[in-house]
Structure 1
Amino acid sequence: MRRKSSIEIGLELGGRYRVEEPIGAGGMGDVWRGVDLRLRRPVAIKILPAELAADESAVERFRREAETTAALQHPGITVTFDIDEHRDGHEQLIFLVMELLTGRDLGTVLAREPHGLPIESVVSLTAQAADALAAAHSRGIVHRDIKPANLFLLDDGRVKLCDFGIARLSDGTQLTAAGSFIGTPLYMAPEQFRGERLDARSDLYSLGCVLYELLVGSPPFDSGDNPAAIMYRHLNEAPAPPRSRRPDVPEHLDRLTLDLLAKDPAARPQSAAAVVAALRGQPDPGSSTVSTATTADWGPGHRLQSDVATRQDRPPATVEPSRPKRGRRAGVVAGIGVAVVVLAAGTAVALTWDKKAPPKPGPTPTPSTVSRTPQAETGPLVPGWKTMLAPQYGIAYDAPPTWTVKGPDYVIWFPDAKKNILAAEKGVAEIDRGKCTSAAAGLRGGMLSAQKPSKDQLGTLQYAAADEARKWASAAYGGAGAHPRPPTVSTGQGGNITLNGIDAAYTTVSVTTAPGGDACTPPHATVETIAMTSVPGSSSGPTFFTVFADRDVSGQVSSEEIKKVIGTIRPYTCPPGKRPQNDNTCR
């Protein structure tokens, strides 16, 4: 939770810059309109949030933004004038002074153009952005957060590249903590999600996402506020060609967009200058021939054949979320923890997991007590247990007799203070203790697809499982009332498992709650998540099965019982002649 700052209208920073009114927010601070009292000119002042000023890494990124942008002299890059500090009592403010821009960012422009912009405008805007990127890349600077909100359209039609708050020098200067990535998931390159070394081609992938959105009105992969689903799609799915959504898109622009969105950086254009040349029909700077705005020969490496083979002829199908029925606890305010993300226009977010190494493999949670005798499709694998059928996800699983198996359209969910739904699951079996739910299991995401995913897909699923488990831990066990503080979440066992013919990834996290929670929030808890491959093209990402349980409560669920529940996960399909519905029934 952000502390109240002493920033007020009329405040004079450093005895030179007067604050006048807030005008926006970026990944590294709020932006205010101000006046340079010495030179008598309007300026934009970005102020690092007070709670981040105590964070050395945040301060370092903020200072690096000043150094980075001050070194860039290009008409398409926002000019930086000054960086300074201001002390007000015990509070220290660090601020950046930049040129004041008049106009709108492209995020605002796109909000008014839900079907995309005119082709001529798209080409002009993208070429200007690529030209600015070429200047940054020539100085060894990777922006790492290219998105519509960071591209500002001036009133005279020029585009300015803004917010180098998370930029990184290509010499490998590291400004983020180990095991984390920073950016905006809707526009991030696959290698950025994997935490790999980034170069100019990562910015070009993000530029491809922007180009795609300028053409059709929405990003290539949009999964609502589910960062794990967005990550999964960027890593595994090819986007629908823009021409399939907007037939008047020229073929060469369609090809350029798809080449920018290649999963393999080597298959993308190798420089921003090459993108500019293709857009403007000029000679490619890296070639002796004249560009005809095609992308067949971008440089070393060509478009991956797998990308071409998996491109769809139509937009991905979407699955409408069901309406939440109830919350786990009355009056819960879920703290937004390390990996819980609510995406908002113009806001960069950080998703974090323990990435020192893949989680150490633990024992496959398929206990010897599971019956191996043939069962009816809807019967339990563990004698005496109850079966939960979830055809919407292509899954069935068993729950102990002390658990309550809920109806097919029942949803367990957690809201934040603004009533945003941070996590929700269907196919729920749970233990209710009065107003509290002390254990629950359920499903979310897409429908089960390949039961034998590739090695690369399993690697992606490991990260998705870790992200999902941490999100659920933070949402379900955040503080309540006046202390909405996130819990401490630590990763335990994890790895790849096989469950009744399904190859999947799993992660176990331990939760220690912050002081100040309500009576339903115990001091400790466990969350386990299984991530499975879903139907290609699903907007809901992997198929997730998550089970959580309170610790240090009366009659608590044992770890062995949780493993038995997980060990019963199996494929389930509707009877012949019926199809799965979004309300988790077969009709």
Structure 2
Amino acid sequence: MTDEGELIAGRYRLLSRIGRGGMGVVWHARDERLDREVAVKELLLDTGDSAQAAEQAMRRATREGRVAARLRHPHAIMVHDVVEHAGKPCLIMEFLPSKSLATVLAERGPLPAGEVARIGEQVASALAAAHAEGIVHRDVKPGNVLLADDGTAKIADFGISRAVGEATVTGAGLIAGTPAYLSPEVAAGGEASPASDVFSLGATLYAAVEGAPPFGDDENPIALLRRVASGELVAPRRAGPLTDVLLRLLAGEAGERPTMVRAREALTAVSEGRPVELPPPRRPTLLSPAPRVRRRTVVVGIGTAALLIAGVLIGVLISSPGEPSAEGDQPPVIGSTSERPDSGCVARYAVTNSWPGGYQGEVIVRNDGEERLTGWVVRWKLPAGHTVDEVWNGSLSRAGSTVTVRSADWNSVVRVGDSVSFGFLGAVEAGEGAVPELVCLPD
């Protein structure tokens, strides 16, 4: 899709190109059937020559587009339709004459706290409505916040990053994406949730008032991901009345963050100059203010480092035998063991990031039993030449080559059918990768 005047799906006439990003090209267009302006986004999918992969990508984009189209909110860009053109999915969306928050920040620099709070309360109201519908955005960042001339703020691109795999391996052997606005649990390879949207909103507003994301703009993507996963924030310096709210939204543990409804209430209070009732986080981890370095999108060659974020997994998952997986969404299921098979405690293991000499992993603990778990233990034997030195969302102990992780206070209770997770950093001094055999049991 390159030419102005081209007709898409027999009704959408392209007028002018208005943007291009990692996910696709955006056009200003006219719906000739309904005589209205729309935005058309051609999704860029790296499916190679595989017809099956292209068909699967189209199905996923259509599914996510239909989910996003359920949301009707004055501060969310509406998705009208998903159509196919030249073998690629195209989103038909509301057209809003606007600039992204990222563009505004590049033009004006850091914004006043009151203005940021007004932007935040609008975006939070849309995200709260989305969460009530069971929709998780997954990619809240300045580039997805649109600002109209009248001060209206709208959030765009609901769910699409997951649908098309925005941070995926391309045909050129590159991985593109920016981890600067990820929550710690997503940076560690976990699934996005309403709580991770809360964190990403906090990171977005932090960048708007401070001039850079809360973990800095380190040009080393691995170092940045590690800081994100550890939750080590650069202390805010310009936030003023927004400081306590930002720290609460940026709490390292998902359970310590407010709901999006409470976040909106707090941001409204700041914008109106009223006291904020939201308590600060219990355990904020702050670094001294550090020099800012320029923002850049992470582009890493696989030959030097594999930066795997936002659901891109290498390795395999370990789970219960015969567990079904979503079509095209999960690596093969291998199997697991338990010292108490009747306990229902099941563990899945995945390597989520990898670099020379090390890797980052996640273990998901699921309760498939008939009673809730009030504590859990996961144990596995490390392959030769491997070590594990850091664990989050759990407590680590070692005995020779055996690693044991016990639940933390905040994720010890697992209801029937629910799951929790913990992450870890591993080092490889020698030997090759291997699939460990996990033992999961109640504690």
Q: TM-score range by the shorter chain?
A: 0.5 to 0.7
1:110-259 paired onto structure 2 within 5 Å: 110-114=105-109, 116-166=110-160, 184-242=178-236, 245-246=237-238, 249-250=240-241, 253-259=242-248
8 Å contact kept, 1:60–1:175: no
Q: Write the distance in 1 (CA, Å) between the matches of 2:209 and 2:29.
A: 35
Aligned pair in 2 of structure 1 residues 209, 335: CA closer, same or farther (>3 Å)? closer
Determine if the alignment matches structure 1 residue 315 to structure 2 residue 304: no
Secondary structure, counterpart of 1:83 in structure 2: strand
Q: Write the distance in 2 (CA, Å) between the matches of 1:102 and 1:318.
A: 31
* Pairwise CA distance, 1:23: 1.6
8 Å contact kept, 2:182–2:199: yes
* Pairwise CA distance, 1:164: 1.7
Aligned pair in 2 of structure 1 residues 463, 176: CA closer, same or farther (>3 Å)? closer
Aligned pair in 2 of structure 1 residues 120, 55: CA closer, same or farther (>3 Å)? same
1:27-42 paired onto structure 2 within 5 Å: 28-42=23-37
Q: Write the distance in 2 (CA, Å) between the matches of 1:205 and 1:123.
A: 15
Q: Write the distance in 2 (CA, Å) between the matches of 1:195 and 1:23.
A: 33
Larger Rg: 1
| Aligned residue type for 1:272 | M
Aligned match for 1:264, one of 253, 258, 266: 253
Aligned pair in 2 of structure 1 residues 135, 204: CA closer, same or farther (>3 Å)? same
The TM-score with structure 1 as length reference comes to 0.49
Q: Write the distance in 1 (CA, Å) between the matches of 2:124 and 2:147.
A: 14
8 Å contact kept, 1:202–1:265: yes
* Pairwise CA distance, 1:281: 2.7
The TM-score with structure 2 as length reference comes to 0.63
Aligned pair in 2 of structure 1 residues 175, 12: CA closer, same or farther (>3 Å)? closer
Secondary structure, counterpart of 1:142 in structure 2: coil
Q: Write the distance in 1 (CA, Å) between the matches of 2:112 and 2:185.
A: 31
* Pairwise CA distance, 1:18: 1.4
Determine if the alignment matches structure 1 residue 61 to structure 2 residue 36: no
* Pairwise CA distance, 1:493: 6.4
Summarize deviations over 1:345-388 as a string: whole Å, max 9, x none: xxx9775432536xxxxxxxxxxxxxxxxxxxxxxxxxxxxxxx
| Aligned residue type for 2:157 | D
Q: Counterpart of 1:46?
A: 41
8 Å contact kept, 2:138–2:159: no
Q: Counterpart of 2:314?
A: 353
| Aligned residue type for 1:74 | H
Query: What's the C-alpha RMSD, in Å, of the aligned pairs?
Result: 4.1
Q: Write the distance in 1 (CA, Å) between the matches of 2:304 and 2:69.
A: 32
Determine if the alignment matches structure 1 residue 277 to structure 2 residue 272: no
8 Å contact kept, 1:339–1:353: no
Aligned pair in 2 of structure 1 residues 97, 176: CA closer, same or farther (>3 Å)? closer
Determine if the alignment matches structure 1 residue 78 to structure 2 residue 77: yes
* Pairwise CA distance, 1:147: 0.1
How many residues get paired?
A: 329
Determine if the alignment matches structure 1 residue 295 to structure 2 residue 278: yes
Q: Write the distance in 2 (CA, Å) between the matches of 1:13 and 1:45.
A: 9
| Unaligned stretches of 5+ residues in structure 1 | 1-5, 169-173, 283-290, 298-302, 321-333, 343-347, 358-461, 472-491, 506-542, 548-558, 563-587
| Unaligned stretches of 5+ residues in structure 2 | 170-174, 295-299, 319-350, 360-381, 392-424, 433-443
1:83-122 paired onto structure 2 within 5 Å: 83-86=82-85, 91-114=86-109, 116-122=110-116
Secondary structure, counterpart of 1:293 in structure 2: coil
Summarize deviations over 1:271-302 as a string: whole Å, max 9, x none: 111011112239xxxxxxxx9313228xxxxx
Q: Write the distance in 1 (CA, Å) between the matches of 2:2 and 2:303.
A: 26
Secondary structure, counterpart of 1:187 in structure 2: coil
Aligned pair in 2 of structure 1 residues 468, 350: CA closer, same or farther (>3 Å)? farther
Secondary structure, counterpart of 1:122 in structure 2: helix
Determine if the alignment matches structure 1 residue 12 to structure 2 residue 7: yes
Q: Write the distance in 1 (CA, Å) between the matches of 2:203 and 2:147.
A: 18
Q: Write the distance in 2 (CA, Å) between the matches of 1:185 and 1:8.
A: 33
